[in-house]
Each structure stands twice: as C-alpha cells, then as structure tokens.
Amino acid sequence: MQPIEFVRATPPFDRLPEEEVRRVVAALKIVRYPAGTRILRQGGEPSHCLYLIREGAVRLERDGRPVMVMEEGELFGFPSMLGRKPPLFDVITEEDSVIYQIPEALFRQLLQYADFAEFFLQGLSERLRRTAVSEPQALWGDLATPVRALVRRTPVFVSPETSVAEAARVMHETGISSVLVEAQPLGIVTMRDLRSRVLARARSPETPVREVMSAPLKTLPADTPIYGAMLFLMEENIHHLPLEEGGRVVGVVTDSDLLRHQVKNPLYLFERIRDLRDPAALREYADEVAGTVETMFRGGLDVTRIGRITAGLNDALTKRLLRLAEGRLGPPPVPYAWIVFGSEGRMEQTLLTDQDNALVYASEAPGVRDYFAELARLAVDGLIQAGFPPCSGGYMATNWCYPLEHWTALFRRWIETPEPAALMEAGIFFDFRKVHGGLDLAPLEAVCREAASRRIFLAHMARAARTFQPPLGFFRRIRDEGGKVNLKKGGIAPIVAMARVYALEAASSARSTPDRLEAAVAGGALSREGADMLLEAFRFLMRLRLREQLEAVRQGLPLENTVRLDRLTALERRHLKEAFLAIREMQEALALRYQTNMLG
C-alpha cells in the first residue's frame, strides 16, 4: 500500500480534504527503526512531530515498567506536542518498525479542521460515540425523521355527544380511520372501535361516542423519531397514535402510515404476530427478524434501540403463544406471570438466541401445577418453532415453573446467603422482566430491593462480574484466538454484570444496561464519567458483534459472539483495545469498591 493510501484510510486523516491528505504525504518523513530503539524519553525533550506507525509496534513504558503496546495505524507523540511538555512515557520499538513522522508545524495547521482536532481532544466515551454516528448509513434519515413528517392532515374532532353513526360518516367522508373526542380527558374513536364496540354488540347508531371511545389518549411528542413511534405502537398494542406539540394534538398517524414507510418495517411482523393462529405459520420468524434488524442497523438506529424493538416483537410473539395456549387449555386457574431474563429480560437481544424464560404462578392448588406445566410446554414449543433454540442450560419455563412464594424464597436465599457457584448462574435471574400475565410481581421486586443493604451479596456479585476478563495479554495487547476475539466474554458480559451490581446497590428496578448505568449515577454508586465510558463501550461492542452476526446470517453461517481482528479498521482496533483497557480498569475499581479480596 502506498503512503497516500495508508494515510487516507487512517483516522483522523480520513476526515481531511484530499488536498490536505496530499500535503501530509508530501511532508511526512519515513523512518525505519530497529527493535529496541527509544524514540521518546520519559521526562525528556517534548515531541516535535506526530508519529504514525506504518509497520511494527512500539512499547510505552513508565518508570521502566511496560504499560502498553501500540501497533499499525496508531498515533503517538501528540500529548507531549500539544502541551509542549516532556513525554509521560518512554516510547521504544517492540520490533523492527516503519514509522511516519509528520512535522509539528503541519500538524498544528491541520487542527483548524474540527473533525481532525476532536480526534486528539476527546475522551474515550466521546470517540466511541462519534464512531457510532459517523458510520455511513443509507437509511439514517428515514428512521430518525420526526414522526410528524408522516402526518397527512390536521386531526378531526367531534363532541362527546356525537352519535357513532355521525362519527362513521365523518370518517368515511374525510377518508380517515379515527376521530378525536373533545372530552376531558381527550378520547379517540376508530373504525376498529365501531366494528368491535358497536356493530359486534348490536348497539344503536345513536349511541354517543363517549360510550365507546378510548380515553385518555396515548400520545407521543411530534418530534419523536419514527423508530420511537414504531416501538410505542408495539409496546402499547395500539393502531392510532395522536401526536402532541405545544400542548395540543397536531395530528394522528396510524400503524398503516408506518407500515408504508419501509418494506422491512417491524410493524409488518408485529401485525402478523397479532393475527397468528398457528405457531407453525411463523417458521420463518427468525429470518424475518434478522431482515428487520438489518434494515434498522443499516438505517443507523442505535443498537440499544434495536434491542428494544426486537424485544417488543419477541414479547408480542410470546403473548400470542400464551393466549393460544390458554385458549386450548382453558382460563388459568390462578393468576400467573411469564418472565424473561438474560438479554431478553434486559431488552438487549437483537437476533434470536437461546430462550431464557420462566413462569411464576400465584399459589398451589389441586391441578394448578399440571396446568402451568402444560402451558409452559406449549409456549416453549411454540418459541422453538419460531426459531428460538432451547436453552442449553435449561433456563426455560418447562424447568423453572414455581409459585410466587417459592420464587421470593429463592431470591431471598441468593441475597441473604450468597454462594459463589450459585450466583454465577443466578445472576441473569435478576434481569427478570414480566412479559405476560396478571400476577403482580411486587413481592419479588421488593426482595430484589433488599439487595441494596446486603454488602456481602453485592461483593459476591461484584466478584462474579470479574469472571470474564477483557482479552488483554502482555503489554495490554489484544489476545486473540485464531485471529478472533470474543466480544461477549471479553467486553459485553463484564459491562452487563457491572451495571447489574451497581443497579442492585442503587435499589433500582431498571433492567437494561443503559438504564442501570443511569440509575447507578443517580444513586451515587457510579461516577458520570465511568457510566458514560461503560455505556459507549457497550454500544461499540454490541454494534461490532451485530455487524458480524448480520454478515454470518447473509452467508448462512452460525451466529457467534466473535470478531476477526483483520476485519477491523485501524480505528476500530484502537477503540477495541481502549474499550478493553477501560473495562479492565472499571472491573478493578468495582473489586476495590466491594472489597472482593476479603471474600473467602
């Protein structure tokens, strides 16, 4: 590769105009250093150029102790040069190396370009955030567009005393499928309401709309992004969405408006799930989810948002399967709750992976256990048909089906008498989230809040959070296996586990990793800087993993949690190493906070 090609492809030079890239190449000096050459000396003369590693590697040492190794595509010398201060490290070539030297005068001239300058001035969390939003995404504007863009006309209002016949006439003549009712609070009547609440019940055409309207309105701000509106419709299971601006309703969009917006719209799949009669009809569900996820990913949607929308689809499927099972078995003998945990509980599952679910029922009585055992079997089998593999560890409702009293006793035992081996497996249960059923799980939530005062339990959870370590070897080089790095074990799982511990300390009921980090900051368990770093590292790693998994889907390969280092750009490799280093530091801080070294 010629110098101009290498420089042009290396961040942040890729943010410069072409003429400036050519000026850099014309001015740079190519130097070959034998292994063991000291390029900069700790406490010595400030650096007078920017160094770009073309081939080889350099080792940073402080007080004679190795700190880290920098490799091809990485830059050094700029902190000393910018501050006109002695270097904080010795920089010594680890092996024979080729390094480009860019003169200080030219470097300072290039700082007039904001994007170029920001690269050297931003912290890790901000650099990772910029990586997320700077990737070219063809459909970014579509998904991030405010939903008000889909409004086709001003809303139509009727009075509460308007007859349903008149409301139907207004809708027919204006070509709309709903009218708003000027009641307190505001209400809405839709064509679907007229069919199900008037015609199906043989009510008089003179019935006032106040008797059949839905109120209060479920609304969203008009500047909500389109993806947010999709998620809201799925979560609320509604078809019409009034939009508010300046304290008033300015329009109504429907699921049909959103369905027309994109071919791979999640609402297409949501509508199919809602009308499902036979689980076998969704044998292609996993492929359809993958196509929908890819559309959202290519559209630039944040990976944590993709997880929420996918969770909404999976929740809808689970609810439908349970309702079908109830129709087959008869009404539940006692109230129950179907819960999910792990990544699905945290709403962080993007493509379909193993099931993680359980069933909680109100109390024991004759025939109750048999009913819910069969309900669990039907639902789990339906999920398998839809493409959810059975959990290899057996964490499914067919095995975990107990009365509420049993569950509260189980959680209390984990908290009050923590056993390391048990907590390794039990951790994901603290991610539980109810998907379906009328059973109130407040007693279980109350037990979880007790964890905040159980320091020994939190210490064991903190130690468990260090089970998976970032894959860093000597001198903090990334340690790969056959050219691959496991993003889940090395980065995602540690962040998830740390966020879980901090949220438990804050007595928060938050489930998602981003929400838990925010709760930890609000509760004083974590600094703002630490939370931002973990959040952006989490998004960065999740995005890398999803990108690789979508490529595997396209090629018909099994889904993995790994990434090949040779598939990453120089900037991605640098950010990956920095993210791993930051995660390791946060793990060490967690261990100190909870004094895990004092555990037996």
Residue with tokens 């004083």: 524
Through-space distance between the first and last CA atoms of the chain, rounded to whole angstroms: 56
Between residues 119 and 531, which one has the greater pLDDT?
Answer: 531
Going from the C-alpha of 234 to that of each of 230, 254, 417, 509, the distances in angstroms are 6, 12, 40, 22
Q: pLDDT grade, residue 99 (50/70/90)?
A: very high
User: Is 262's pLDDT higher than 70?
Assistant: no
Q: pLDDT grade, residue 132 (50/70/90)?
A: low
CB neighbours of 214 closer than 8 A, spacing ≥ 6?
Answer: 187, 188, 189, 190, 193
β pairing state of 49-55 and 178-181:
unpaired
What is the pLDDT, as a whole number, of residue 269? 79
What is the spatial distance between Cα 405 and Cα 381, in angstroms, rounded to a whole number?
27
The first and second tokens of residue 262, run together, are 């994109």
Whether the CB-CB separation of 454 and 490 falls below 8 Å is answered with no
What is the spatial distance between Cα 443 and Cα 408, in angstroms, rounded to a whole number?
7
**Number of other residues whose CB lies within 10 A of the CB of residue 285:** 23
What is the spatial distance between Cα 526 and Cα 315, in angstroms, rounded to a whole number?
31
Name the residue among 20, 12, 6 with its Cα closest to residue 575. 12
Label residue 320 left, alpha or beta by phi (over 0 means left) and psi (-120 to 50 means alpha): alpha
pLDDT in tens, 388-420: 888 888 899 999 999 999 999 999 999 988 887
What is the spatial distance between Cα 134 and Cα 149, in angstroms, rounded to a whole number?
24
**Number of other residues whose CB lies within 10 A of the CB of residue 36:** 11
Question: Mean pLDDT over residues 348-361, rounded?
Answer: 91
Name the residue among 289, 354, 350 with its Cα closest to residue 317. 289
What is the pLDDT, as a whole number, of residue 295? 80
Q: Which domains does the chain carry?
A: 3-121 (2.60.120.10), 143-261 (3.10.580.10), 454-600 (1.20.120)
Nearest-5° Cα angle at 310, 309 to 313: 90
User: Is 475's pLDDT higher than 90?
Assistant: no
| pTM greater than the 0.75 cutoff | no
What is the pLDDT, as a whole number, of residue 136? 39
Nearest-5° Cα angle at 378, 377 to 380: 65
User: Is 567's pLDDT higher than 70?
Assistant: yes
